[in-house]
Amino acid sequence: MQQRVNSPNGLNSEMFDGYDASRTFDEAFESSGMARGTYQRIIERFAGLDAVEHQRLESLVADEFRRQGITFTVYSEDAGTERIWPMDLFPRLVAAAEWDELARGLSQRVAALNCFLADFYGGECEAIADGIVPRWLVVSSSGFERNAVGISVPHRAHCNIAGIDVVRGADGCYRVLEDNLRNPSGISYVVENRAALAKVCTWLFDDHAVQPTEQYGQMLRSTLESMAPSGRDSPHIVLLTPGIYNSAYFEHAFLARAMGVELVEGRDLVVDDHTVYSRTIEGLVRVDVIYRRIDDDFLDPVSFRPDSALGVPGLLGALRAGSVTVCNALGNGVVDDKGVYPYVPELIRYYLNAEPIIDNVPTFMMWDADQRAEALGRLNELVAKPVGASGGSGVLIGPHASQQELHAARTAIEAEPREWIVQELVQLSTLPAFVDDRFEARHLDLRPFVLTGEKTEVFPGGLTRVAMQRGSMIVNSSQGGGSKDTWVLAREAL
Amino acid sequence: MRFGISYRLHFRYSEAVFESQNEVRARPRDDDYQRVLSYTLISRPEVAVLSVLDYWGTTVQHLGIRAPHVELELVAQATVETKPHPQPGRAPALAALSDEKYRSDHFEFLVPSAHVLWQQGDLVEQRAIAAAAKADSVEELVSAVVAEVRSTLVYRQDCTDIGVTLLELIAGGEGVCQDFAHLALGMLRSVGVPCRYVSGYLFAANEADSGFVAATVQEDLVSVQTHAWIEVAVPGWGWWALDPTNGVEVGEHHVVIGYGRDYADVPPVRGVFAGSAVASVDAEVVISRQSTQNQQ
């Protein structure tokens, strides 16, 4: 039975007419149709608009993004691959206490993953010796970078910038869906979403004290500074990009500007005597920290892919000499591997002697015969994911799959069980998103960012992505997803 | 035995190159059967060399030359003392290969790698299965597969490039030491025997002639190339070193540089340079047998 929201809190508005908060956990409305306390005032604000006014504000935001060149790239299409970044005006609100708990859980998870990376690449491999993670599974990961073994990493902080994708299911609980410890992108959109919303809809912020986002550049910069090799005061930082054809180039340029550091390509750097230098108009300048946004394989054509024109020849030698730090460290892909994901709760218990604050989504390991049999028996209710997939590609959602697709997935899993995990389907939580002339419930996720150097900080909020198609759970912008500004509320509301 | 080894690489460029960066793996390792008494890497032009151990425990040396140059000479000089390897202990039953912990411990040496690729049911696996059919022990199985490699390939100097596939080797019927090693690794792994690639030096008249040297050679100085062979993880015993090119067990004439999954994990030299020159290289290994009588 559907329950409808007609006039939230007695406001007579057509904006929320027919809003269906009953499909799963709706973050703004209870299933009865009552507004949740956190969202009461923001709903009133939007209820006070009409569709025409809302559309006008949306187009102002789009103009703002267009003027700033805030776009994203869709690789698969032939033409018009640059798109204006899509943002829905209705923000996501996270109450202070709720955020504190979530942030503690994120810090905990990233701390455990950093412990594992340091343990593994440092050569001790205690978690493997103690049977927490099987050795064969780790060494068979495509993200395992043998050249990372033996490189010393300041503060043992292998992951300096993590993007942890979390979702809320029908029970409203946060769960981690995916860890991104290589080159997580999206933070620039978090900052730009806020800037655009604050400019176009300043009045929206009247009733709330929202934690700011414009400080990200400074936070990132101080994190990176703390990663400089010891003895390098006032370290020289560069951001290494693959160049303008990369889908995240906008973000690379944005972050370099926000931090006040050089944006460089591989050819702008040169290694001499196992030390990295930047070529500048004032001659060579020694580089201490490289925030790299290129993949491991492309970093150094001497030791990795010889055909890479993006990297810096000799960089691995400089890393082994300890004269420079690369952030994130090499080889973090081993924990982005979804084959390692099911072991993360155990890694938290092992390294931190604590219970995980945020759970995983229940996951079946396909390389375990019993779990495989159980999962394949009810694959039509579950979600199958390739362990190396990102951006939602190759994911099979059981309830939406045809018989042929289910059969093909079973065959693929039986053939290469190490390459797959299967998870319970999470009915992602919903929020109002403006569709045509009113708000409808749309599914969403959240990518918060965790910065780790000498200390760990969780950036307030994160990137909320929203599936704009009715019923869709695919939130990726490359597949038609939108975004929302994410407000972490300060303790004392106004 | 004590050997003096001089491994010389001489690169010449058709015009000046610059910003050259290189990785060298030429230093013999220290292990139970060999001891490195001295080692130096000389570079002309002269530059600072960084020496570290890589993931596999092999010494890797990084060096770069930023200034323009038309040639680069690298000379690795080592003095090494070797001992004979013991025979593997009592041949373990084949069931030991299926032990879960043993397989997990040696997983990297059981699966395909860059130069050791095969697929279920292909000729590599078929031939290995046929060769292994009559074996009752790990030792017999390994010997049978190595014999199969030696009946498949004939040694011919410089006949292949490093990019050759295992199926191309079987079709072509000839190879150099890397090819013998890679084909043996592919066949052994395809029947579940963990094994690794070894790069090193062999004191022999040429790399396919160790039997001759061991039996009769009178000369004390040979001029050869770097060599390659394999090591097999024998359950309950350890690594058993075999030289498929020569059909012999590895002994005191073999000097190990390092090991890995295949050639790509332990190439003697790898590098890049800036500039549009054409490069040529002369590589030579000179090994001299030295007297140890006064060195007690």
> Does the beta-carbon distance from B19 to A146 stay under 8 Å?
no
Mean pLDDT of chain A: 92
Would you say B229 and B198 are in contact if contact means Cβ atoms under 8 Å apart? yes
Report the alpha-carbon distance of residue B149 to residue B173 in Å, rounded.
10
pLDDT band at residue A4, thresholds of 50, 70 and 90?
Answer: very low
Looking at residue A71, its pLDDT comes to 80
Looking at residue B211, its pLDDT comes to 52
Looking at residue B237, its pLDDT comes to 87
Query: Whose CA is closest to A158, among A109, A203, A116?
Result: A116
Q: Which residues of B touch A139 (CB under 8 A)?
A: 107-108
pLDDT band at residue A68, thresholds of 50, 70 and 90?
Answer: confident
> Does the beta-carbon distance from B54 to A149 stay under 8 Å?
yes
Looking at residue A7, its pLDDT comes to 47
- For residue A265, is pLDDT > 50? yes
- For residue A477, is pLDDT > 90? no
Please report, rounded to a whole number, the percentage of residues in chain B having pLDDT higher than 90.
80
- For residue B92, is pLDDT > 90? no
Looking at residue B162, its pLDDT comes to 84
Distance from CA of A117 to the nearest CA of B (A): 15
Report the alpha-carbon distance of residue A328 to residue A330 in Å, rounded.
7
Distance from CA of B44 to the nearest CA of A (A): 15
Those residues whose C-beta lies under 8 Å from the C-beta of residue B54, and which sit 6 or more positions away, are A146, A147, A149, A150, B25, B60, B258
- For residue A269, is pLDDT > 80? yes
- For residue A494, is pLDDT > 60? no
Looking at residue A308, its pLDDT comes to 79
> Does the beta-carbon distance from B64 to A271 stay under 8 Å?
yes
Q: Which residues of A touch B279 (CB under 8 A)?
A: none
Q: Which residues of B touch A150 (CB under 8 A)?
A: 52-55
Nearest to B107 among A135, A147, A271 (CB): A135
Best mutation target among B62, B69, B270 (most A Cβ atoms within 10 Å) is: B62
Please confirm whether the linkage preceding B45 is cis (ω < 30° from 0). yes
Would you say B45 and B72 are in contact if contact means Cβ atoms under 8 Å apart? yes
CATH architecture of B94-265: Roll (3.10)
Report the alpha-carbon distance of residue A460 to residue B88 in Å, rounded.
61
Q: Does A271 touch chain B (CB under 8 A)?
A: yes
Looking at residue A210, its pLDDT comes to 96
Those residues whose C-beta lies under 8 Å from the C-beta of residue B178, and which sit 6 or more positions away, are B115, B160, B162, B228, B263
Best mutation target among A303, A367, A416 (most B Cβ atoms within 10 Å) is: A303
Rounded mean pLDDT of A227-256?
Answer: 94
Q: Which residues of B touch A320 (CB under 8 A)?
A: 50, 52, 62
- For residue A420, is pLDDT > 70? yes
Please confirm whether the linkage preceding A328 is cis (ω < 30° from 0). yes
Scanning A63-122 for CB atoms below 8 A from B yields none
Chain B residue with CA closest to A136: the answer is B104
Distance from CA of B224 to the nearest CA of A (A): 26
Q: Where in chain B is the domain with CATH 2.60.40.2250?
A: 2-83+268-290
Query: Whose CA is closest to B68, among B135, B16, B123, B144?
Result: B16
Report the alpha-carbon distance of residue A292 to residue A128 in Å, rounded.
29
Best mutation target among A138, A142, A270 (most B Cβ atoms within 10 Å) is: A270
Please report, rounded to a whole number, the percentage of residues in chain A having pLDDT higher than 70.
95
Report the alpha-carbon distance of residue A187 to residue A362 in Å, rounded.
28
Length in residues, chain B:
296
> Does the beta-carbon distance from B19 to A147 stay under 8 Å?
no
Please report, rounded to a whole number, the percentage of residues in chain A having pLDDT higher than 90.
83
For residue A435, report the phi and psi dihedrals to the nearest 5 degrees: -125, 120
Letter string b/e over residues A355-366, b meaning 16 or more CB atoms within 10 A of that residue's CB = ebbbebbebbbb
Nearest to B62 among A150, A306, A320 (CB): A320
Q: What is the pLDDT of residues A433-470, one digit of tens each?
A: 999 999 999 999 999 999 999 999 999 999 999 998 88
Distance from CA of A451 to the nearest CA of B (A): 28
Interface of B with A (CB under 8 A): 19, 21-23, 47-48, 50, 52-56, 62-64, 66, 103-105, 107-108, 111, 265, 270-272
Nearest to B104 among A136, A147, A302 (CB): A136
- For residue B296, is pLDDT > 50? no
Nearest to A272 among B52, B66, B108 (CB): B66
Distance from CA of B237 to the nearest CA of A (A): 20
| Tokens describing residue A330 | 């090499």
Q: What is the pLDDT of residues B160-215, one digit of tens each?
A: 888 899 999 999 999 999 999 999 999 999 999 999 999 999 998 766 665 544 43
Looking at residue B293, its pLDDT comes to 57
> Does the beta-carbon distance from B111 to A140 stay under 8 Å?
yes
Scanning A291-320 for CB atoms below 8 A from B yields 301-303, 306, 313-314, 316-317, 320
Q: Where in chain B is the domain with CATH 3.10.620.30?
A: 94-265
> Does the beta-carbon distance from B272 to A150 stay under 8 Å?
no
B31 DSSP 8-state letter:
B
Q: What is the pLDDT of residues A7-37, one digit of tens each?
A: 444 455 789 989 999 999 999 999 888 999 9
Q: Which residues of B touch A302 (CB under 8 A)?
A: 21-23, 270-272
Scanning A13-72 for CB atoms below 8 A from B yields none
Q: What is the pLDDT of residues B33-81, one digit of tens each?
A: 999 999 999 999 999 999 999 999 999 999 999 999 999 999 999 999 9
pLDDT band at residue A76, thresholds of 50, 70 and 90?
Answer: low
pLDDT band at residue A78, thresholds of 50, 70 and 90?
Answer: low
Nearest to B21 among A149, A314, A321 (CB): A314
Looking at residue A12, its pLDDT comes to 57
| Tokens describing residue B161 | 């490039």
Of A83 and A54, the structure prediction assigns the larger pLDDT to A54
Distance from CA of B274 to the nearest CA of A (A): 10
Distance from CA of B15 to the nearest CA of A (A): 20
- SS3 track for chain A: CCCEECCHHHCCCCCCCCEECCCCCECCECCCCCECHHHHHHHHHHHCCCHHHHHHHHHHHHHHHHHHCCEEECCCCCCCCEEECCEEEEEEEECHHHHHHHHHHHHHHHHHHHHHHHHHHCCCCHHHHCCCCCHHHHHCCCCCCHHHCCCCCHHHCCCCEEEEEEEECCCCCEEEEEEECCCCCCHHHHHHHHHHHHHHCHHHHCCCCECCCCCHHHHHHHHHHCCCCCCCCCCCEEEECCCCCCCCHHHHHHHHHHHCCEEECHHHEEEECCEEEEEECCEEEECCEEEECCCHHHCCCCCCCCCCCCCCCCHHHHHHHCCCEEECCCCCHHHHCCCCHHHHHHHHHHHHCCCCCCEECCEEECCCHHHHHHHHHCHHHEEEEECCCCCCCCCEEHHHCCHHHHHHHHHHHHHCHHHEEEEECCCCCEEEEEECCEEEEEEEEEECEEEECCCEEECCCCEEEEECCCCCCCCCHHHCEEEEEEEEECCCCC
Letter string b/e over residues A187-219, b meaning 16 or more CB atoms within 10 A of that residue's CB = bbbbbbbbbbbbebbeebbeebebbebeebbeb
Given 3-state DSSP classes, what are the helix, strand and coil percentages for chain B, each rounded to the nearest 5? 25, 40, 35
Rounded mean pLDDT of A396-425?
Answer: 96
Scanning A321-360 for CB atoms below 8 A from B yields 321
Q: Which residues of A touch B111 (CB under 8 A)?
A: 140
> Does the beta-carbon distance from A273 to B54 stay under 8 Å?
no
B180 DSSP 8-state letter:
H
Q: What is the pLDDT of residues A335-373, one digit of tens each?
A: 999 999 999 999 999 999 999 999 999 999 999 999 999
Rounded mean pLDDT of A273-282?
Answer: 96
Domains in chain A (CATH in brackets) are 98-190+209-352 (3.40.50.11290), 362-424 (3.30.1490.270)
Report the alpha-carbon distance of residue A407 to residue A412 in Å, rounded.
9
Q: Which residues of B touch A279 (CB under 8 A)?
A: none
**CA angle at residue B106 from B102 to B112, to 5 degrees?**
130
| Tokens describing residue A469 | 């198609």
CA dihedral A465, A469, A470, A476 (to 10 degrees): -30
Q: What is the pLDDT of residues A316-327, one digit of tens each?
A: 999 999 999 999
Those residues whose C-beta lies under 8 Å from the C-beta of residue B116, and which sit 6 or more positions away, are B166, B182, B185, B186, B189, B197, B261, B262
Nearest to B55 among A134, A135, A149 (CB): A149
Q: What is the pLDDT of residues B117-161, one digit of tens each?
A: 999 999 999 999 999 999 999 999 999 999 999 999 999 988 888
Fold held by B2-83+268-290? Immunoglobulin-like (2.60.40)
Scanning A183-242 for CB atoms below 8 A from B yields none
Looking at residue A11, its pLDDT comes to 53
